[in-house]
Amino acid sequence: MKHLPHHYHVVADASPSADVTLATGQLPALKSAAPIEFDGPGNLWSPETLLVAAVADCFILTFRAISKASHLDWQKIDCAVTGTLDHQDGKTRFTCFDIVATLSIADEKLRKKAEQTLAAAEKHCLVTASLSASTHLNSTVIING
């Protein structure tokens, strides 16, 4: 990892009736629009779905880093995240992110270490640590040996 602080720069542009175009560095541009819940078309990524995706992505990447450092052998991880948007304290905001993770390992002897690593990934995910909403992890470890 490079020394902190890190800076991430995204440029967004749109016209009155067009989708928003998001761009950064060498990455392909990404189109976004309001979600269907806010009268958007529902066929593009929205700020809301991008945020929930960032939670899922960060959880898996954090799990991967911690499992590598702790020498946990695993086969596959699936992660589904539900972000709850609600009215709280006079604001519409995300109030909770529910993370459902399913981890496949080959050996029952690794179950406890796997469960600890999943919990550590929830605790150390930098995206959720940067948000005011709570997170809840529901994890399952499957033995495929």
Judge whether residue 8 has pLDDT over 90: yes
3-state helix/strand/coil string of the chain: CCCCCCCCCCEEECCCCCCEEEECCCCCCEEECCCHHHCCCCCCECHHHHHHHHHHHHHHHHHHHHHHHCCCCCCEEEEEEEEEEEEECCEEEEEEEEEEEEEEECCHHHHHHHHHHHHHHHHHCHHHHCCCCEEEEEEEEEECC
**pLDDT for 1:** 84
pLDDT in tens, 69-89: 999 999 999 999 999 999 999
Query: What are the structural domains of the chain?
Result: 47-143 (3.30.300.20)
Judge whether residue 4 has pLDDT over 90: yes
**Averaged pLDDT, 102-109:** 97
Residue type for position 106: A
**pLDDT for 55:** 98
**Averaged pLDDT, 52-69:** 98
**Averaged pLDDT, 24-53:** 97
Please report which confidence band the pLDDT of residue 145 belongs to, taking 50, 70 and 90 as the band edges. Answer: confident
**Averaged pLDDT, 87-100:** 96
Count CB neighbours of 37 within 10 A: 10
Judge whether residue 117 has pLDDT over 80: yes
**pLDDT for 65:** 98
Judge whether residue 15 has pLDDT over 80: yes
**Averaged pLDDT, 40-64:** 97
Q: Give the integer Cα–Cα distance in Å for 117 and 60.
A: 11
